[in-house]
Structure 1
Amino acid sequence: INHHMDFDDEYIDDMEYYDVEPCDLRSNYEQVVTIQTYIYSFICALGLLGNVLVLITYAFYKKAKTMTDVYLVNVALADLLFIMALPLIIYNEQHVWSMGTWACKLLRGIYSLNLYSSMLLLACISGDRYIAIVKARHSIGMHFKTHIYSRLVCSVIWFLAIGLSMPTFIYYDLYVENSTAEAECSYSFATSGTAQLMKILVPSLQVAVGFFTPLLVMSFCYCSIILTLLRARNYERHKAVRVVLAVVLAFILCHLPYNAVVLIHTIKLFKERGCESEQQVLLALSVTKNLAYLHCCLNPILYAFIGVKFRNHFCKIMADIWCLRKRNFISGRSSQQTSELYLPAHKFTGGSVQENPSSFSM
């Protein structure tokens, strides 16, 4: 028995050999990789721009004053970490993981790290909003402790995410079935007992800790917030949580399909499955995984279109960039005209022109 898991990181049972034609689980691999390349490129470009703008906004325009602000900064950092890994993932999947074992472990592990940290941080955001609105009396006088608590909570979450991601970092490896086969980045186990344990433990932790637990926390907190706002008849306070609520809902819509398919596949893991059924599950996992990756570039879009404060800060950033470009352009033209006016005539002879460095402003 070979304790190897397929190319798409999704928990396939050990194959037993019968006197039948083997099932080809890589029949659509090239088509899937080609489609994923375009999707990953879109996510990378949009996500990089959006999350960098979020960090710039918090760094120069809107200081992180509340616990929610600190959590959102960490969400942007987690998303940016994964987005920076996407180009390497694209390259390695196109070149059969030519960068070696370290890239296989690191790049697969970064997604797991991003998943746990982002989801747990969003659960913390919902808890902070619950305390600020539903338990408003208890939150009075806690402002001076905000930065201490938020940084402590974020540190705990990052360490927890790293711990939960360790099986991915440890057990992912390059696998080559024979000397003529292409290398695959997948789970690889030394013993049958380890394979059976990890094939249940890893997806169970992902679904339970990385999705359903934060989902329960968010559902309780935001349901309580909505009831409180309806009783208070104060819809202005609803605007304060509308952005966060939209971000959480978008995250759930992106991750629910993938986690549902992973859960179904894990339940059927050690049962007999047909070849066509297994191919369909792998295709569903691939499609829903791309949807899960999409969350990295959705948060900044939600900030820009829903959050009034963030929209104002983004407009301020664009205005400042435009003014800076316009000022540099005018300064550059003025400097160039001045240098041309006082430049000696012999500088232009011989078919060459000596450029004035002062006319090129960054």
Structure 2
Amino acid sequence: MDDLSEFFDFFNDTSYTLTESVVTVEVPLCNKGNVIQFGAAFLPAFYYTNFLLSLVGNALVLYIIFKYEKLSTVTNIFLLNLVISDLIFASSLPFWAVYHKSEWIFGRSLCKLVGSCYTIGFNSSILFLTLMTFDRYLAVVHAISAAQSRRNTYAFASAATVWMLSIFASIKDIVLYDVMDGSNGLLCEVTGYHQTILTKWELVGYYQQFLLFFLVPLVIVLYCYIRITIRIMSTRMMAKFRAVKLIFVIVFTFFICWTPYNVVILLKAIKTSVGDLNDCSEALDYALYITRNFAYLYCCISPVFYTFLGKKFQSHFLKLLSKHMPCLKLDTLMSMPSNGSKTTSGAQTRITDH
């Protein structure tokens, strides 16, 4: 709480005066030559890989939804929105790959558009994952009462709220991102305003990311899956231990992929708000490069990850393979459960199937 107090004190500080909000001089940048070289060698290949994984994986999820499922269910509406958000995020990665390899060659308008698409996709992805977790919690823990409230209206209203929050969080990127001349070519960065204003908006972005798009979702995810686990363990399910194991995998993966990146974000916020603004140490820059890409990877594969944990979507995928690879047809039929072999209760179905 002390850090947050210092942050708001910093924002309310009126000890300085500005004659102009917008300045024509360039914002002074630290010499990050080593970090830039590291990014140029490491990031482009990673971004292209993430883009291809997201494109192929999300296209597969979309095909299965439209081929075998209905968009009239709440879960599929959320899943469709998650796929869209991940595709929006992934669409920005090739641009950043080229940028890190050389310089920004796409112009001022695309600098603002790509920067905002990155933010909208990245933030909406984590919110939709949280929303899907909460919906799963309602379906399992409050199955009877939630049956009346989990309607399409609830799904569309929830999805619209997520998109509005994500777009609102990206407004600063639309305003602040611009093309500027750097020592190694054209840069697409936040620029054009006094350093004090840019520092304050940087802090807004850091604390917004950590609090709204990590800490709150993490608390909700942990609470929901703890309650789901307690509910499952209190029933007489034959496959309840498999369901608990799946929950552990989901929470563990979420925690591993998102926590390091957001810890680095918090450290950068603390450094910016209470540290020396002229400190050009590179340790956090390297840490941000590495940890951010784990979060990127999770964003790109999350629809595939969440979809194919469910037996129903696994069955759809096997049907799809059997049509294009007839040699798998026998194995597909053998792997699909018969109508009389269901040993799990409705709650288990809601955990593993979407």
Same fold by TM-score greater than 0.5: yes
Closer, same or farther: CA 3–165 of 1 in aligned 2, 3 Å: farther
Tell me which amino acid in the other structure corresponds to 2:276. Answer: E
Q: 1:176 aligns to what SS in structure 2? A: strand
The reply to whether residue 272 of structure 1 matches residue 267 of structure 2 is no
One-letter amino acid matched to 1:224: R
Amino acid at match of 2:237: N
Deviation at 1:203, TM superposition (A): 1.0
In structure 2, distance between residues paired with 1:3 and 1:255: 37
Amino acid at match of 1:68: T
Contact kept? 1:64, 1:70, Cα under 8 Å: yes
Contact 2:39/2:100, CA 8 A, preserved across alignment: no
The separation in 1 between residues aligned to 2:236 and 2:175, in whole angstroms, is 52
- Rounded Cα–Cα distance in structure 1 between residues aligned with 2:112 and 2:249: 33
- Structure 2 match to 1:147: 152
Cα distance in 2 for residues equivalent to 1:176 and 1:37: 21
Deviations 1:128-147 (A, max 9, x none): 1121111122123446xx21
Q: Distance in 2 between matches of 1:291 and 1:188?
A: 27
How high is the TM-score relative to the length of structure 2?
0.76
2:42 counterpart of 1:35: yes
SS in 2 for 1:27: helix
**2:198 maps to what in 1?**
195
For structure 1, which segment, 43-52 or 56-65, has the greater mean C-alpha deviation from structure 2 after superposition? 56-65
| Structure 2, gaps ≥5 residues long | 1-22, 327-354
Give 2:286's aligned residue.
283
CA contact (8 A) 1:71 1:121 kept: yes
Unaligned runs of 5+ in 1: 6-13, 16-22, 324-362
**C-alpha distance in 2 between matches for 1:261 and 1:55:** 34
- For residues 185-264 of structure 1, the aligned pairs below 5 Å read 185-234=188-237, 236=239, 246-247=249-250, 249-264=252-267
Q: Does 1:104 align with 2:107?
A: no
Report the identity percentage. Answer: 27
Match of 2:347 in 1: none
Residue equivalent to 1:47: 54
Counterpart of 1:81 (choices 88, 93, 106) is 88
> Aligned equivalents of 2:56 and 2:292: distance in 1?
22
Q: CA RMSD in A?
A: 2.8
Computing the radius of gyration over CA atoms, which structure comes out larger, 1 or 2? Answer: 1
Tell me how many residue pairs correspond in the alignment.
303
Alpha-carbon distance change, 313 to 242 in structure 1, aligned in 2, over 3 angstroms: farther
Task: Assess, with a 3 A threshold, how the Cα gap between structure 1 residues 141 and 196 changes in structure 2: closer, same or farther.
Answer: closer
Quick one: which amino acid aligns to residue 190 of structure 1? Y
Deviation at 1:192, TM superposition (A): 4.2
Aligned equivalents of 1:90, 1:169: Cα separation in 2: 20
Q: 1:243 to 1:80 in 2, by over 3 A?
A: farther
Structure 1 residues 76 and 242, CA, compared in 2 at 3 Å: closer, same or farther?
Answer: farther
Contact 2:233 2:240 in 1 (8 A): no
| 1:343 corresponding residue in structure 2 | none
CA deviation map 1:240-270 (0-9, x unaligned): 7976774554343222111110101110114
Say whether the 8 Å CA contact 1:97–1:183 is kept in structure 2: yes
Query: Which of 287, 295, 298 is matched with 2:298 structurally?
Result: 295
**Residue 132 to residue 239, structure 1, CA distance change in 2 (3 Å):** farther
Say whether 1:161 aligns with 2:158.
no
Shift of 1:64: 3.3
1:171 equivalenced with 2:171 (yes/no): no
1:24 is paired with a residue whose SS is coil
Q: Distance in 1 between matches of 2:134 and 2:307?
A: 23
For the Cα contact (< 8 Å) 2:225–2:247, is it kept in 1?
A: no
Residue 158 of structure 1 aligns with an amino acid whose one-letter code is W
CA pair 322-4 structure 1, distance change in 2 beyond 3 A: farther
Question: Would the aligned equivalents of 1:78 and 1:118 in 2 still touch at CA under 8 Å?
Answer: yes
Corresponding residue of 2:127: 120
Contact (CA 8 Å) 1:304, 1:314: kept in 2 or not? no
* 1:300–1:120 CA distance, 2 compared to 1 (3 A): closer
- Structure 1 residue 227 displacement after superposition: 1.1
Change (3 A) 1:238 1:129: farther
For the structure 1 residues 38 and 202, does the alpha-carbon distance in structure 2 shift closer, same or farther, using more than 3 Å as the test? same
